[in-house]
Structure 1
Amino acid sequence: MVPVKNTKLYEVLGVSTDASRQEIKKAYRLQALKCHPDKNGHSEESKRKFQQVCEAYEILSDENKREMYDKFGTADESELQEQMSPQMYTTSGMSAGDLFAQFFGGGSTTSGFFERKRHTPEMARGPDIKHNLKCTLQELYYGKHAKLALNRTRLCRKCDGSGGKRSRTCTACGGRGMRTETTRRGPMVQTWSSTCQDCNGSGTYVRRKDLCAECAGQGCRTERKIFDVEVQPGMRPGQEIVLPSEADEVVNAEFGPERVIPGDVTIILQQLPHEKLRVLGDADLLLSNCSVDLRTSLCGGSVWIDSHPSGRVLKVDVAPGRVLAPGTVKCVENMGMPKPGGGFGNLYVRFNVEFPEKLDEATATAISAALDSDSNVQPTSSQALPEGVPIEDHVMSDLQPDLSQGGSPHKRRRGAADSSDDAFDGDDASDRAESCTVH
């Protein structure tokens, strides 16, 4: 076995110099997850390490590039040229690209996207692919697995991005990817450089008969990848699921397709609206309109809740003597959404008291007598009136709004029932609601 001149890339992945391709691939996945910027607060150190891991895998996973790195300590043609003596190719009449190809049996290994990298200081990171995943409240409660199909551009696996079996140095630009033109006008000489149109700046080309049949010489293919996305129980709307390095490997750049470090596929959870429930804070739920009859609101009893995301029907007991006023909010502990670390949030219930349209005279008399005998009830008619104030008697009638004139001329007064939602816009709902039991 040929001794390895530089072991830096092997140390980055944490493998030995005689590691197999499968061992290198496994080590890359572990290191990529460990150093990924999303898991390290997007610190500059994590970005630097993640790029080193990607570049190390790019070279060591390719047989030709790995052989070149083991022999010379680098897989970059420009660095290798700097290490060599100029006489090695200037006196032989060969171009730098021909001399470089000679080391690898007559075929340049730095073709296609890898050759284009010579003209950029370092490989850039490609853009992320973002996708919204819609979930019901019940799916967020229990979790789910979703199949997500996305289109992405990846390197051709058959030719590894080279575009063909054998690439040749572009004769128009001498393998530089740029052409220099000079114009003389009298005593003035003007020189400028432009991208070589023959090779589109790559410095190499592949003959038609040598083109890769899989990608037609493009070096990349658009593929449709199906991801299995796992939504954990209790995940929140807006939360992101990151699939690292699963985005495009090739993007359209100024001079054509360019190879990049793959970005991430980011799944953003979106909750479909629920008819009655909404999520508060991290794991609390608010049932915004729970109907209760007048008798239960005054005398106690049981209220049934059939809209819980667990699918269970909850029986909530209202203690006798604890009056439920319209808009009252009660707390049912540990009946909210699952928490990531275990346990559950709370369920807050806002009650809407349903009043009868009218009462029988006997019922009204009985209720009046019962309330008169209760020391907790203070009738407003017993309040003292100022002396000397004239009193007029009037009879109220039902309001009949003129709908053709835009509805009732009276503005609806905002009461406690309307403002209770505002009281639960924050995360301190538990400080403003009483508890009740559930069976």
Structure 2
Amino acid sequence: MAKRDYYEVLGVSKDASKEEIKRAYRKLAVQNHPDRNPGDKEAEERFKEATEAYEVLGDDQKRQTYDQFGFAGLEGMAGGGTHDYSTVFRDFEDIFGDFGGIFDSFFGGGSRGGRRRSSGTGNRGADLRYNLEVPFRDAVFGTKVEISYRKNAACSVCSGKGTTSGSGKRVCPTCGGSGQVRRSSGFFSIASPCPTCSGEGYIIENPCSACAGSGVQPKNQKIKVTIPPGIEHGKRINIPGQGDAGSNGGSPGDLYVYISVAPHRFFERDRNDLYCVIPISMTQAALGAEIFVPTLDDKKIKVKIPAGTQNGKILRIRSEGVPHLHNAQSRGDLYIKISVSVPTKLSGKAKSLLKEFSELEGENTHPEPVPLSQLR
């Protein structure tokens, strides 16, 4: 079944403010939460659908990507269509207040007193950047690209725990597990990371020899990235969870793929339209002709050149430009600029015919200047 538009799911307009989106999501979440509708699978699905919509529209970057690329852009970001609903709860106090604890239990999030621990639950992995150059044609029509990069992954020996088999971790005796120590300075009390456990709140008694207790090891990673049709130079694709692994069970970072579009030999792009220059002869321009123009997807389109066509004239070929993001069947236009080629070498007969033509036309030897605006 086709997914519904996220704005439709939340019942808000596309220019809705962040506050309006929060209010709409709160209303739907409260109405459809499984604790309020036990055994109602449809309510549970509506709850998940609303949460997925808020995960995207409540995040400025994801919302911008969705507005520009639709579900195709989010497919590339999500690394296969999975959704990490835990990101919704970063501002739960702002949206739901004490109601957040119920949502934590539903999604399996660890909590203490209804709130996530701020220390001792692991550090989030680092975000990574990957620069990807794609051919002009692939940026226009979209593609899938396999990329290879190096990242920190969970240690294969200790499964990311950082300890040897049979050993464990104990609470740091210096900070008592808080990860912080305080010292007094005059009237002030200053907190700083615990020097014994480096802010982790625990000490590994027997560190894993493979990762030295860090829980991570460098490895080469290969993934496929979806390049949505119509992506522009300088845009980025966010792939959650494909950055460095977190330590002590912390969540992984994200991978940001920055797109660089290689120039094309003949075509240039302006939004959804394509432009190119097509040379024709003087006789084709004067008498008119039918020529075949190549398109970006390797077709040949027959174009009629009107008699008397001037150098620099622009002709439009409809629906041969860049596909629209939300409707691949609809495309922009292809504009061709006519360049009239003047021969540099003429046979004797050609010179004679052109001279005769010049005498018949009575060519002007005192031409008036043409306004520059006519050449633009």
> Aligning the two structures, in what range does the TM-score lie when normalised by the shorter sequence?
0.5 to 0.7
1:295 alignment partner in structure 2: 283
In 1, the alpha carbon distance for the partners of 2:148 and 2:102 equals: 29
Higher RCO (C-alpha under 8 Å, 6+ residues apart):
2
What's the counterpart of residue 150 of structure 1? 149
Aligned residue in 1 for 2:90:
51
Residue number in structure 1 paired with 2:201: 203
CA change 1:370–1:339 in 2 (3 A) is same
Alignment of 1:30-179 (within 5 A): 31=51, 34-36=54-56, 37=59, 38-40=61-63, 49-51=88-90, 73-74=113-114, 115=120, 128-154=127-153, 162-164=161-163, 165-178=167-180
CA distance in 2, matches of 1:126, 1:58: 21
* Aligned with residue 259 of structure 2, among 252, 269, 290: 269
Match of 2:274 in 1: 285
CA–CA separation in structure 1 for the residues paired with 2:191 and 2:89:
35
* Aligned counterparts of 1:383 and 1:267: Cα–Cα separation in 2: 57
RMSD of Structure 2 on Structure 1 (CA) = 5.0
Distance 1:241 1:116, change over 3 A: closer
Q: Does 1:380 align with 2:369?
A: no
Shift of 1:225: 3.1
1:348 aligns to what SS in structure 2?
A: strand
Quick check: 1:154–1:221 contact (8 Å CA) kept in 2? yes
Verify the 8 A CA contact 2:147 2:224 in the aligned structure 1. yes
Does 2:300 correspond to 1:313? yes
Question: Is 1:148–1:226's contact at 8 Å kept on the other side of the alignment?
Answer: yes
Cα separation, 2, equivalents of 1:52 and 1:261? 17
Structure 1 unmatched ranges of 5 or more? 1-10, 79-113, 118-122, 251-256, 385-414, 424-439
Q: Is the 8 A contact 1:336 1:347 kept in 2?
A: yes
Q: Equivalents in 2 of 1:30, 1:246: separation in Å? A: 25
Offset at residue 152 of structure 1 (A) = 3.0
CA distance in 1, matches of 2:201, 2:173: 9
Query: Do residues 224 (structure 1) and 200 (structure 2) align?
Result: no
CA distance in structure 1 between the partners assigned to 2:129 and 2:181 by the alignment: 39
Q: What TM-score do the two structures reach when normalised by structure 1? A: 0.53
CA distance in 2, matches of 1:383, 1:195: 83
1:112-148 CA deviation, whole Å, 9 max, x = no partner? xx5267xxxxx8x766433222222222343221112
CA distance in 1, matches of 2:107, 2:152: 19
Instruction: Give ranges in structure 2 of 5+ residues lacking alignment.
Output: 1-28, 66-84, 93-99
Q: What residue in structure 2 maps to residue 323 of structure 1? A: 309
Q: Over residues 89-110 of structure 1, what are the superposed CA-to-partner deviations in whole Å (9 max), with x where a residue is unaligned?
A: xxxxxxxxxxxxxxxxxxxxxx
CA contact (8 A) 2:121 2:250 kept: no
Paired residue type of 1:167: K
Determine if the alignment matches structure 1 residue 336 to structure 2 residue 321: yes
CA apart distance, 1:153: 3.2
Is the Cα–Cα contact under 8 Å of residues 237 and 271 in structure 1 kept in the other structure?
Answer: yes
Return the index of the structure with the highest Cα Rg: 1
Q: Per-residue displacement from partner, 1:382-432 (whole Å, max 9, x unpaired)?
A: 789xxxxxxxxxxxxxxxxxxxxxxxxxxxxxx98xx97xx5xxxxxxxxx
Distance in 2 separating the partners of 1:314 and 1:55: 62
Contact 1:150/1:225 (8 A) holds in 2: yes
Q: For the residues of structure 2 that align with 1:278 and 1:332, how far apart are their CA atoms?
A: 15
**Contact (CA 8 Å) 1:137, 1:309: kept in 2 or not?**
no
Quote how far apart the aligned CAs of 1:351 are.
2.3
SS at match of 2:213: coil
Equivalents in 2 of 1:133, 1:116: separation in Å? Answer: 34
Distance 1:128 1:56, change over 3 A: farther
Q: Deviations over 1:204-261 (max 9, x none)?
A: 21222xx4566442233434332211223333333333223433343xxxxxx68765
Q: Deviations over 1:175-201 (max 9, x none)?
A: 454567899xxxx9xx98865443333
d(CA) in 1 for partners of 2:35 and 2:156? 25
Letter matched to residue 287 of structure 2 = C
Give 1:299 shift.
0.9
Q: Give the alignment's TM-score, normalised by structure 2.
A: 0.61
Residues in 1 aligned to 2:116 and 2:300: alpha-carbon distance in whole angstroms:
67
C-alpha separation in 2, matches of 1:144 and 1:77: 41
